[in-house]
Amino acid sequence: MRTSALLAFALLALTPVSAIAETAKVNGIELHYTVEGAGEPLLLLHGFGGCAANWDGVATQLAQHYRLILVDMRGHGQSTNPSGKFTHAQSADDVRALLDVLAIKRVRAVGFSSGAMTLLHLATKSPDRVSKMVLVSATTHFPDQARAILKSTTIETTPPPILQMYRRCASRGDDQVRSLVAQFRAFGDNYDDMNFKPADLAKINAPTLIIHGDRDQFFPVSIPVAMYQSIPHAELWIVPGGSHSPTAGAEESTFVREVENFLRN
């Protein structure tokens, strides 16, 4: 698997082709990912309950300039997770192992929500592995307003559009959806996984673009502002009226343009 993955990845560095799906065995799981486009590698990490396919609209544009690595995080999409547990620290270890499989020493990266929190762990624990990153709707910790939502989440209380997204991504059906909802709810009682202090964020070497909606129902705008003040080379874009998905819909083209400008400059 390592040889075939390296060969496919090397070929994509030279020639734009349609998406190629691969699976890497890392940390006791099968981590599914797709490689698309050509150029310098760019890692894309989805939000909790989602999958790599959530990036489809954005990926079409970014693949014109980058060799995209779109990952199904553990237990999501086609990736497995025998433990039935999820932490962002473990997710970062999975991503680091995948980069090793693909022989990528440093990577640009974009993460949304849980994907962005995964990048925070990667960039603080292995600062040399991330050259630039974009964090969308990230947090350093779960505030009370987020914990209230997390602890009350069940399949029955999940908004229909979100539940539909879970089901579109879950390759193993409703059992996988139920497991993910339970893992999401468990974040409400976890105080260790997301617990970054300013001194932790100061370890980040990568220039970082922080994007956040000023109406995010999980994480108030004070959190991205504090992150901006603590990460040495940070930029901050607060989206007026933006929710937890601040760049969806009409803002998507602006999002792609701003991300490309940031990654290039």
pLDDT tens track for 158-194 = 999 999 999 999 999 999 999 999 999 999 999 999 9
pLDDT-based confidence at 14, cuts 50/70/90? very low
The enclosing domain of 85 has a CATH number of: 3.40.50.1820
CB-CB contact of 31 with 24 (8 Å): yes
pTM of the full predicted structure?
Answer: 0.93
On the question of pLDDT at 249 being above 80, the answer is no
Q: Which structural domain, as residue segments, surrounds residue 189?
A: 2-264
> What's the pLDDT at 250?
63
Give CA separation, 204 vs 20, 140, 197, in Å.
31, 13, 12
Q: Report the phi/psi class of residue 84: left, alpha or beta, with left for phi > 0 and alpha for psi in -120 to 50.
A: left
Count how many domains the chain has: 1
Q: Which of 88, 97, 92 is nearest to 30 (CA)?
A: 97
On the question of pLDDT at 243 being above 70, the answer is yes
Give CA separation, 89 vs 21, 37, 69, 79, 219, in Å.
25, 28, 19, 17, 19
> What's the pLDDT at 72?
98
pLDDT-based confidence at 4, cuts 50/70/90? low
The pLDDT mean for the chain works out to 93
Report which residue type is found at 131: S
Residue 188 has which token pair?
């409400």
> What's the pLDDT at 202?
98
Give CA–CA dist 2/229, Å, rounded. 40
pLDDT tens track for 111-160 = 999 999 999 999 999 999 999 999 999 999 999 999 999 999 999 999 99
pLDDT tens track for 199-217 = 999 999 999 999 999 999 9
Cβ partners under 8 Å of residue 258, min gap 6: 209, 211, 237
Q: What percent of the chain has pLDDT over 70?
A: 92
CB-CB contact of 214 with 242 (8 Å): yes
